[in-house]
Amino acid sequence: MTLLAEHITATTRRRPFLATGLLGLALMTPLMANNAQARELSVSTVLSDAFPWGQAAEKWAELVKERSGGELTLRVYPNAQLVAGDQTKEFSAMRQGLIDLAVGSTINWSPQVPELNLFSLPFLMPDHAAIDALTQGESGKQVFAAIESKGIVPLAWGENGFREVSNSSRPIEAPEDLKGLKIRVVGSPLFQDTFTALGANPTQMSWADAKPALTTGAVDGQENPLSVFDVARIDQVGQAHLTLWHYMADPLIFAANQRVWKSLNEEERTLLTETAKEAGAWETAMSREGNAQRLTDIESRGVNVITLDEDAMQAFRDATQSVYANWTPKIGEALVETARTEVAASR
């Protein structure tokens, strides 16, 4: 026995608690190493968990924590906190590594990924079956490939829903009813072109500025999914007329920064992908199933809800053909044609 070993043995005999402490330290070491490996990733989303969009991110975080035993956690930052409230900067911030993960909007990311404008083409998708045909079909694969080419890894689809139009002035039942109305739109040139084609005066502004503008009458109307109209109580700011026209839908995308993705091991990547798909499917179903009750609640508050027949819908389609002529080359003619074929097959 070495002198050092004899010294330790003698010391532990005289001080039993020291031996116990050393044993405890040895037992704690694997746990401490485990905790040292635990990792937290940021998740950006535009809306809070009062909305299905925010609930999608929270569901993802919940599933990841549960399945990883807490070894991998997602911290959700709602209301575009990580980009100072400017939702149009989310994609760029994720590319730069300022955001690890996101549940983002095809609309907000479309300035950086032109192919995402596919989903904003007016009256392309008439129903949920058409949305699914695109996101789960060849169109969706091509869009995901375009996103990945920009340094972002797409994992799964969610859904923000069909966007409907409301205003404070009159029922919108035909294209001419939009003439002269100031309509708040998101920061996408395609939206500007669509409402200009319909004779409206589109006004681009962030959602944070939209409600005050609606309150003061600086703008006459807005377009958003039923969930936003309902939860944000848009009827309280003079939006007395709501037209259900399904003019476009906004799929959500669960995605990761490419450098962050490469830093994960295979098990972590599989976990994030599987939980993103599960959270996306859950949120999509929940969002769609809730629309009937949302509509009932909205009508009960005195909002005039207009549903368009097929002839009325065709008039809106005809009025926006110039948008297709302008945007198909930017999105990609092959992609638009693939989407048209998939929508037709879904019907």
Fold held by 38-346: D-Maltodextrin-Binding Protein; domain 2 (3.40.190)
CB atoms within 10 A of CB 36: 8
Give me the amino acid identity at 279: A
Q: What is the pLDDT of residue 37?
A: 67
| 57: confidence class by pLDDT, cuts 50, 70, 90 | very high
- Rounded to two decimals, the pTM is 0.87
Per-residue pLDDT reduced to its tens digit, 126-160: 999 999 999 999 999 999 999 999 999 999 999 99
Phi/psi of residue 10, each to 5°? -65, -40
| 86: confidence class by pLDDT, cuts 50, 70, 90 | confident
| 220: confidence class by pLDDT, cuts 50, 70, 90 | very high
Residues 6+ apart with CB under 8 A from 270: none
**pLDDT exceeds 50 at position 20:** no
| Most distant pair of Cα atoms in the chain: their distance | 99
**pLDDT exceeds 70 at position 13:** no
Strand 152-167 versus strand 101-105 pairing type: unpaired
Nearest to 166 by CA among 121, 87, 233: 233
HSE-CB at 262 with a 13 A cutoff on CA atoms is 7
Residues 6+ apart with CB under 8 A from 8: none
The answer to whether 240 touches 123, Cβ cutoff 8 Å, is no
Per-residue pLDDT reduced to its tens digit, 101-112: 999 999 999 999
The answer to whether 154 touches 144, Cβ cutoff 8 Å, is yes
The residue extents of the domains of the chain are: 38-346
> Distance between CA 283 and CA 310 in Å, rounded?
29
**pLDDT exceeds 60 at position 116:** yes
Per-residue pLDDT reduced to its tens digit, 226-284: 999 999 999 999 999 999 999 999 999 999 999 999 999 999 999 999 999 999 999 99
Map tokens 């807490």 to a residue.
70
How does the average pLDDT of the chain come out, rounded? Answer: 90
**pLDDT exceeds 80 at position 30:** no
Q: What is the pLDDT of residue 9?
A: 41
| 23: confidence class by pLDDT, cuts 50, 70, 90 | very low
